[in-house]
Structure 1
Amino acid sequence: MIEDLVPDLLWEQVAPFLPTPAPRPYWHHGRRRADDRAALAGIVFVLRHGVGWWQVPQDSLGVSGVTCWRRLAEWTEAGVWPRLHEAVLAQMRREGLLGLDEMSIDGSHLRALKRGAHVGPSPVDRGRPGSKHHLIVDTNGTPLQVSLTGGNRHDVTQLLPLLDALPAIRGTVGRPRRKPRILYADRGHDYDKYRRELHDRGIAPKIARRGVAHGSGLGTKRWVVERGFSWLHQFKRLRTRYEVRADLHLGLMHLACAIICWRKLPGRSF
């Protein structure tokens, strides 16, 4: 079961980024540290199926859900997932699988079942506690960067932070790519202030205007971000926010993005 959740090629991709655990003192007689690959398989199991940590199949994986949660916290705090995502993006660029000249950005609401950071009254869910996923994708809908905010935060507040947080995508000779030439966005980003900001950064804004009838044609380019959200939310743990800690939910988002990108590489699928 471990090989089904974490294939050999995926494990070879992840293993170099995992921190080396601190050595135990010679007088320590407790249990041995659980296998990292088995713990990652438990994390992927929860991410894919949306179950609780207590439902991790310990008999099949050899690790408990508590251990998987602790390992998720440890690796999230060590910054494993964003570095993994960046490395996979570099491989995709090397293979010519990224279209970085044009990018699209959008946000998506989700319900938050528990309190915590980045939770607010959702305007699309009768004021119930919620959060919002923000996503920027390339021409093909490949997720490049994500962020998490409260459900009451406006989409436009994450436009510049997401652009600034884009990883330096390497993989070819020359400078790494850090920004698009054209950015597509919906009416929620229709502010002239941000158009000027994008122009100053050398990015051409293609943003739908409020009060203008549909049919501008921007939807033929911008739909890829909706497909990106569809891929992201196929991981059922991300459809509803269960984690109190915002950093852990964001860590799961980064892991999901890395897996989505890894699946696009030649010969990778599971």
Structure 2
Amino acid sequence: MEPLLPKKERRFRYPGRKPVPDRQVLCGILFVLHTGIQWEYLPQELGFGSGMTCWRRLRDWHEAGVWQRLHEVLLAELNAAARLDWSWAVVDSSHVRALKRGSRRARPSRPGRAGSKHHLLTYGHGTPLAVILTGGNRNDVTQLMALLDAIPAVRGRPGRPRRKSQAVFADRGYGIYRDQVRARRIIPVIARRGTPHGSGLGVYRWVVERTFAWLHGFKRLRVRWERRADTTKPSSSSPAA
């Protein structure tokens, strides 16, 4: 990860206080994301720096594209080791409880209540490919094409980078995008509306639910404390990477 971090020019005339090392700050960021505590309550005795230092470093790394590049590097390594299943991908969403009002919130049935959604696309083994944060009142199916657009170009093997799987699995609500998915030369494996439940596609879709369980093991992602979306996105993107 170190080669991906932005380099800061050293000031010689007025150097100021020496910054907390990036490794310690990263440990502090992961500690907050895992435990779910608020940034200002990060214990100083742990040696990770202050909570605000960790939060600012997380924000700066997000704005510099560190998490996105780290995600691409990890995907390339998995692809080089033949650990990515290109035959199919799975899409789904999960509601996130928000304790403070702000942007990108509200549940569909109660537009005035706080809430957000994580929309996730994974490969067949559950590897996260793309994640999008929206308000809780946004219908799940509206983000399918945006998720497909958000898949990074995966390198790691000779030839052109890959950006799509052979098929995508989703529940029947996503059926309205069947033709658009097919136009991208991706096979849509989506149950038809009006057909009885029990199509058997759940045998494949469970992997995205497992990935949600992994991501929401970070308590900071399971409950949203931030009011603004631009401060929530860094917290969401770092565990996915």
Question: How high is the TM-score relative to the length of structure 1?
Answer: 0.84
2:39 is aligned to 53
Which stretch of the first structure deviates more once superposed, 35-44 or 202-211?
A: 202-211
Q: What is the one-letter code of the residue matched to 1:145? A: A
2:194 is aligned to 211
Correspondence for 2:80 among 77, 94, 116:
94
Q: What is the one-letter code of the residue matched to 2:189? A: K
Residue 124 of structure 1: how far off its partner (Å): 6.0
2:160 is aligned to 175
Matches within 5 A, 1:3-42: 14-24=1-11, 26-28=13-15, 30-42=16-28
Correspondence for 1:245 among 219, 228, 241:
228
Q: What do residues 26-52 of structure 1 show as CA deviations (whole Å, max 9, x unaligned)?
A: 134x31111111111110100111111
Name stretches of at least 5 consecutive residues in structure 2 with no aligned partner. none
SS of residue matched to 1:23: coil
Structure 2 CA distance for aligned equivalents of residues 116 and 100 of structure 1: 38
SS of residue matched to 1:145: strand
Q: What is the one-letter code of the residue matched to 2:142? A: T
Correspondence for 1:134 among 102, 119, 123:
119
Structure 2 CA distance for aligned equivalents of residues 139 and 62 of structure 1: 36
Structure 2 CA distance for aligned equivalents of residues 196 and 219 of structure 1: 22
Q: 1:128 to 1:36 in 2, by over 3 A?
A: same
Residue-pair matches, total: 241
Cα pair 2:111 2:137 within 8 Å, conserved: no
Q: What do residues 8-41 of structure 1 show as CA deviations (whole Å, max 9, x unaligned)?
A: xxxxxx111110123325134x311111111111
Cα pair 1:186 1:208 within 8 Å, conserved: yes
Residue 125 of structure 1: how far off its partner (Å): 6.8
Q: 1:97 to 1:76 in 2, by over 3 A?
A: same
Residue 145 of structure 1: how far off its partner (Å): 0.8
Residue 61 of structure 1: how far off its partner (Å): 1.6
Task: Compute the RMSD of aligned alpha carbons.
Answer: 1.6
Cα pair 1:18 1:75 within 8 Å, conserved: yes
Q: What do residues 44-63 of structure 1 show as CA deviations (whole Å, max 9, x unaligned)?
A: 10011111112222212241
Percent identical among aligned pairs is 53
Correspondence for 1:72 among 37, 58, 61:
58
Name stretches of at least 5 consecutive residues in structure 1 with no aligned partner. 1-13, 259-270
Correspondence for 2:103 among 117, 128, 134:
117
Which stretch of the first structure deviates more once superposed, 92-101 or 42-51?
A: 92-101
Which stretch of the first structure deviates more once superposed, 92-101 or 133-142?
A: 92-101
1:158 is aligned to 143
SS of residue matched to 2:224: coil
2:184 aligned with 1:197: no
